[in-house]
Amino acid sequence: MSEMLPFITRQPKPRQRGLNYVRSPAILGGYLDDVLACYALHIDILKLSGHQVTFSSRSSVVRAIEACRAADVRVAVGNPPLDVALSGGWACYMAFIAGLAALGVEFIEVSCIGRAIDDEDFAQVIGAANEAGLKVIVEIGVEFAHSGSEDGNLFLGRRIQQAMSAMAAGAAIILVESEGLTENRKGQPYRWDALDRIASSFRPDQLMFEADDQDVLSRFIDVFGPKVNLMVDHSKIEKIEAARRGYGPSQSIWGKVVAV
């Protein structure tokens, strides 16, 4: 029905800007089929959770990837299997990424905050993935996995340096984790100042922001424009598309967004 109304027109896929990086529903099979049937047009990359890839049947994972590819949706895999593979040593990591590439996975998400790793080793991890045909989404941030944040202990300069080194090594995009910045703040103000410092060090197309909260995703669109790259849960697909077109979900951007 949207084609009958003068909403902002989105660039058709495959897009380079305005990416929706979407977490898969926790259950594969029919649930995922329904999500793709309704919203594939608005999903650029679907992230299968690490637990899905690890503990679901191989046939269900293969079917999910095939369904995504048929719907023109690219597939990513992240933690914890990437963490476990790296902890298992180089041979384990190489075998795992080769297996993902063979399944049709196009992206892997590797965390700088979920792993303690030297920059030169991380560059090797990125380079090996690229050689296997996988693009790398590098996660940076100030906290990880629902940990508390201390405003005087963010190491923003170091996080930015890691991200720049990762881009130089061939990373496709930098994902900024929301934990400690706009998530788990325990009633304290959001750290927009920290996000601004990170964002000002990169081109907009090099960054993606995690933004599950509807007011947070709306704020990103307000500040960076409707082509900002965002990561959301599958339950937020309608909200993110409405926000990009300027009519929801937050009052702050209602009727405000324009694109030419």
pLDDT tens digits, one per residue of 170-197: 999 999 999 989 988 888 899 999 999 9
235 occurs within a structural domain? yes
Which tens digits make up the pLDDT trace of 14-38? Answer: 998 999 999 999 888 899 999 999 9
Please give the pLDDT value at position 53: 87
Structural domain harbouring 155: 2-253
209 occurs within a structural domain? yes
Spatial neighbors of 15 by CB under 8 A, at least 6 apart, are 44
188 occurs within a structural domain? yes
258 occurs within a structural domain? no
Please give the pLDDT value at position 146: 63
Q: What is the CATH number of the domain that holds 65?
A: 3.20.20.70
259 occurs within a structural domain? no
58 occurs within a structural domain? yes
Look at 123 and 186; give whichever has higher pLDDT.
Answer: 123
Please give the pLDDT value at position 1: 64
Burial class (CB in 10 A: 0-12, 13-18, 19+), 156: middle
Is residue 149 scored above 80 in pLDDT?
Answer: no
- Segment 214-217 long-range contacts (CB within 8 Å, at least 24 positions apart): 214/239, 214/243, 214/249, 214/250, 215/250, 215/252, 216/178, 216/182, 216/190, 217/243, 217/249, 217/250
112 occurs within a structural domain? yes
Which tens digits make up the pLDDT trace of 62-120? Answer: 999 999 999 999 999 988 888 899 999 999 999 999 999 999 999 999 998 888 899 99
222 occurs within a structural domain? yes
Count of domains for the chain: 1
